[in-house]
Structure 1
Amino acid sequence: MAKPPLSMKPTGWFQVAWSDEIAVGDVRTMKYFGQEMIAWRAESGALTVMNAYCEHLGAHLGYGGTVHGEVLQCPFHGWQWNQQGRNVCIPYEDRPNRGRRITTYPVIERNESVYIWHDTENREPFFDAPDVFAGFADGSTAADYYPQQRLFRQGLEMHPQYVLENGVDFAHFKYVHNTPIVPVFTRHDFDDPVSYVDFTITFEGDDGQRIEDVNSGVEAINGGLGIAVTKSWGMIDNRTISAITPVDESTSDVRFMVYIGRPAGEVRDPARAAAKAGEFGAEVIRQFSQDIHIWAHQRYSDPPALAGSELQGFTAIREWAKRFYPDGRGGSAAELAAHTR
Structure 2
Amino acid sequence: MAKPALSMKPTGWFQVAWSAEIETGQIHRMKYFGHDLVAWRGEDGAVTVMNAYCEHLGAHLGFGGRVEGDRIICPFHGWEWNQQGRNVCIPYQDRPNRGRRIPTFPAVERNESVYIWHDLEGRAPYFDMPDIFDAYDDGRSSADYYLAYPEGILHHERLELHPQYVMENGVDYAHFKFVHRAAHVPEFTRQEFDGPVAYADFEMLFGGTKESTVLTPNGAMVGGVQAINVGIGVGFAKFWGPDNMRTIVTVTPVDDETADIRSTVWLDRLPGDTSAHQPASLERRMRMANNQYLADLNIWRHQRYTDPPALATAEGKGFSAIRRWAMQFYPLGEPGSASMPELQTAGTDAGPEVPENEAVRSSAALD
Is TM > 0.5 for Structure 1 vs Structure 2? yes
| 8 Å CA contact 2:42, 2:71 repeated in 1 | yes
Task: Tell me which residue corresponds to 1:12.
Answer: 12
Aligned counterparts of 2:36 and 2:94: Cα–Cα separation in 1: 31
User: Match for 1:221 among 215, 228, 231?
Assistant: 228
| 8 Å CA contact 1:8, 1:159 repeated in 2 | yes
Answering whether residue 294 of structure 2 is matched by residue 322 of structure 1, we say no
| 8 Å CA contact 1:315, 1:333 repeated in 2 | no
The superposition leaves residues 46-92 of structure 1 with CA deviations (integer Å, 9 ceiling, x where unpaired) of 11000000000000011111111111100000000000000000111
| 8 Å CA contact 2:316, 2:343 repeated in 1 | yes
| 8 Å CA contact 2:227, 2:238 repeated in 1 | yes
Q: Provide TM-score, normalisation by structure 1.
A: 0.93
Task: Tell me which residue corresponds to 1:73.
Answer: 73
Aligned counterparts of 1:338 and 1:93: Cα–Cα separation in 2: 66
Task: Tell me which residue corresponds to 1:239.
Answer: 246
Task: Tell me which residue corresponds to 2:188.
Answer: 185
Task: Tell me which residue corresponds to 1:159.
Answer: 162
Aligned counterparts of 2:207 and 2:318: Cα–Cα separation in 1: 25
| 8 Å CA contact 1:227, 1:243 repeated in 2 | yes
Answering whether residue 80 of structure 2 is matched by residue 49 of structure 1, we say no
Aligned counterparts of 2:251 and 2:229: Cα–Cα separation in 1: 12
Letter in 2 for 1:131: D
Aligned-pair CA distance for 1:207: 6.2
Letter in 2 for 1:335: P
Letter in 2 for 1:74: C
Using a 3 Å threshold, how does the CA distance of structure 1 residues 226 and 150 change in structure 2: closer, same or farther?
A: same
Aligned counterparts of 1:238 and 1:195: Cα–Cα separation in 2: 20
The superposition leaves residues 221-257 of structure 1 with CA deviations (integer Å, 9 ceiling, x where unpaired) of 1110111111111222100011111111111111101
The superposition leaves residues 15-44 of structure 1 with CA deviations (integer Å, 9 ceiling, x where unpaired) of 000000111000010000110000011111
User: Match for 1:171 among 160, 171, 174?
Assistant: 174
| 8 Å CA contact 1:130, 1:221 repeated in 2 | no
Aligned-pair CA distance for 1:174: 0.5
Task: Tell me which residue corresponds to 1:140.
Answer: 140
Aligned counterparts of 1:114 and 1:16: Cα–Cα separation in 2: 6
Aligned-pair CA distance for 1:133: 0.6
Q: Give the aligned CA root-mean-square deviation in angstroms.
A: 2.0
| 8 Å CA contact 2:316, 2:345 repeated in 1 | no
Aligned-pair CA distance for 1:329: 1.5
User: Match for 1:196 among 193, 196, 199?
Assistant: 199
Out of 192-201 and 49-58, give the one that drifted further: 192-201
Using a 3 Å threshold, how does the CA distance of structure 1 residues 299 and 113 change in structure 2: closer, same or farther?
A: same
Answering whether residue 284 of structure 2 is matched by residue 279 of structure 1, we say yes
What fraction of aligned residue pairs are identical, expressed as a percent? 56
Q: Provide TM-score, normalisation by structure 2.
A: 0.87
| 8 Å CA contact 1:222, 1:229 repeated in 2 | yes
Aligned counterparts of 1:119 and 1:49: Cα–Cα separation in 2: 14
Return 5+ residue gaps in structure 2 as ranges.
214-219, 348-367
Aligned counterparts of 2:101 and 2:304: Cα–Cα separation in 1: 40
Letter in 2 for 1:134: D
Answering whether residue 122 of structure 2 is matched by residue 115 of structure 1, we say no
| 8 Å CA contact 2:160, 2:301 repeated in 1 | yes
Out of 189-198 and 10-19, give the one that drifted further: 189-198
| 8 Å CA contact 2:200, 2:227 repeated in 1 | yes
Aligned counterparts of 1:225 and 1:209: Cα–Cα separation in 2: 38
Letter in 2 for 1:177: H
Aligned-pair CA distance for 1:140: 1.9
Aligned-pair CA distance for 1:146: 2.1
Letter in 1 for 2:240: W
Aligned-pair CA distance for 1:144: 1.1
- What are the equivalent positions in structure 2 for 1:263-302 lying under 5 Å apart? 263-264=270-271, 266=272, 274-302=279-307
- What are the equivalent positions in structure 2 for 1:93-132 lying under 5 Å apart? 93-132=93-132
Q: Between Structure 1 and Structure 2, how many residues are aligned? A: 336
> Is the partner of 1:165 in helix, strand or coil?
helix
> Is the partner of 1:220 in helix, strand or coil?
strand
Return 5+ residue gaps in structure 1 as ranges.
none
Aligned-pair CA distance for 1:201: 2.0
The superposition leaves residues 273-294 of structure 1 with CA deviations (integer Å, 9 ceiling, x where unpaired) of 8334321121111111011111
| 8 Å CA contact 1:165, 1:317 repeated in 2 | yes
Letter in 1 for 2:245: N
| 8 Å CA contact 2:189, 2:201 repeated in 1 | yes
Task: Tell me which residue corresponds to 1:337.
Answer: 343
Task: Tell me which residue corresponds to 2:59.
Answer: 59
Out of 22-31 and 138-147, give the one that drifted further: 138-147
